Amino acid sequence: MQTEVVLGIGGNKGDRFSYLARAREALSREMILISSSQVYETEAWGGVAENGSFLNQVLLITTSLEPLALLQLTQAIELSLGRTREQHWGDRTIDIDILYFGDQICNSSSLTIPHPFLSRRSFVLQPLAEILPKKIHPILGKTTLELLAECTDQGQISIWKQAK
């Protein structure tokens, strides 16, 4: 059975756009990519980012994997793209977050779905609103647009324009 899953991808180290592209490519080899938002450039959220702003994107995929198997796959992709976990919310080449897994709710020691900070991050809600504006958060009972309107995150976010 295929499940629609929403992923958030982002990073701020090295060739940020290349890392996003390589993550999308690796994910596409394992599942079906249905839709992707534009790429957004955003301020760091929650931690110290010595390498500056992030590029972020939201993807809608379908997969036959179960949530924990998908988590293992995304972490393997992160590792293959040079991700290190030295500082919580610190700099990274790539981060792949499971935002939604269908309408499932999961609270395990290794995985929380929906992503616990989704409703507090404009850098997630803005691109999510682009591709799934009416998606209803299964716990909060609000659409992406409603969550975005209520979000108090004031971090700078803009559509990224790749240099020519």
- The 10s digit of each residue's pLDDT in 46-68 is 555 566 789 999 999 999 999 99
Per-residue confidence (pLDDT) for residue 89, from 0 to 100: 53
87 pLDDT above the threshold of 60: no
Per-residue confidence (pLDDT) for residue 85, from 0 to 100: 61
Catalytic residue among 15, 16, 22, 92: 92
Mean pLDDT within 127-141: 97
Using alpha carbons, select from 156, 83, 148, 78 the residue that is nearest to residue 118.
148
Length of the chain: 164
pLDDT band at 152 (very low <50, low <70, confident <90, very high): very high
Specify whether 91 is catalytic.
no
Mean pLDDT within 89-101: 87
Q: How far apart are CA 79 and CA 97, in angstroms?
A: 14
Catalytic residue among 16, 22, 24, 83: 83
Q: How far apart are CA 78 and CA 41, in angstroms?
A: 20
Residues 23/10, Cβ–Cβ less than 8 Å: no
| Domains of the chain as residue ranges with CATH | 3-159 (3.30.70.560)
What is the percentage of the chain residues whose pLDDT exceeds 70? 90
pLDDT band at 43 (very low <50, low <70, confident <90, very high): confident
Specify whether 103 is catalytic.
no
Specify whether 92 is catalytic.
yes
Catalytic residue among 16, 91, 97, 121: 97
Per-residue confidence (pLDDT) for residue 48, from 0 to 100: 57
pTM reported for the whole predicted model: 0.92
Catalytic residue among 16, 95, 121, 153: 95
Peptide bond into 114 cis (omega under 30): yes
